[in-house]
Amino acid sequence: MSAITILCSCAADSKTESDKLSITTTIYPYYEFVREIVGNKAQINQLISPGTEIHEFEPTPKDILKINNSDIFIYNGGESDEWVDKVLNSINSDVKVMCMFDYADLLYEEDIEHNKGDEYDEHIWTSIENDKKFVKAISEQILKLDSANADFYKSNTDAYINKLSRLDNSFEKLVQNSSRNTIVVADRFPILYFVKEYGIKYESVFPGCTSETQPSIKTVTKLIDYVRENDLPVVFHIDNSSESLARIICEDSNAEIMTFYSMHNITREQFESKTTFISLLELNLKSLKEALE
> Is residue 215 located within the same domain as residue 263?
yes
pTM: 0.92
If asked whether residues 155 and 171 sit together in one domain, one would say no
Size of the chain in residues? 293
Helix (H, G, I), strand (E, B) or coil at 246: helix
Confidence of residue 18 (pLDDT cuts 50, 70, 90): low
Contact (CB, 8 A) for 86 and 224: no
Q: What is the CATH number of the domain that holds 7?
A: 3.40.50.1980
Q: Please tell me whether residues 73 and 59 are part of one structural domain.
A: yes
The per-residue pLDDT for 5 is: 45
**Looking at 137, 166, 195, which one is the last position of a domain?**
166
157 and 221 co-located in one domain = no
Which of 166, 200, 228 delimits the end of a domain? 166
pLDDT higher than 80, residue 76:
yes
Of 113, 139, 166, the domain-final residue: 166
Q: Is the pLDDT of residue 142 over 80?
A: yes
Q: What angle do CA 40, 70, 75 make, to 5 degrees?
A: 95
The pLDDT tens digits for 35-44 are 999 999 999 9
Mean pLDDT for 23-31 is 97
Q: What pLDDT was estimated at residue 9?
A: 44
Q: Please give the tally of structural domains in the chain.
A: 2
Residue 90's pLDDT is 87
Residue 208 carries which DSSP code? B
Predicted confidence at residue 17, as pLDDT, reads: 46
pLDDT band at 2 (very low <50, low <70, confident <90, very high): very low
239-258 pLDDT per residue, tens: 989 999 999 999 989 999 99
Beta-carbon contacts of residue 200 (< 8 Å; ≥ 6 apart): 175, 181, 182, 183, 194, 292
pLDDT at 210: 74
Do 178 and 148 belong to one domain?
Answer: no
pLDDT-derived band at 114, boundaries 50, 70, 90: very high
My answer on whether 42 and 143 are in the same domain is yes
- For residues 24 and 90, membership in a common domain is answered with yes
Please check whether residues 17 and 148 belong to one and the same domain: yes
- Of 174, 188, 171, 290, the residue nearest 232 (C-alpha): 290
Task: Quick: pLDDT tens for 211-237.
Answer: 777 899 999 999 999 999 999 999 999
- Please check whether residues 184 and 261 belong to one and the same domain: yes
pLDDT at residue 132 above 80? yes
Range of the domain at 30: 3-166
Q: Are residues 107 and 144 in the same domain?
A: yes
| Residue 205 and residue 129 share a domain | no
CB 123 within 8 A of CB 208: yes
Is the domain of 137 the same as that of 54?
yes
How far is Cα 188 from Cα 200, in angstroms, rounded to an integer?
17
pLDDT at position 209 is: 74
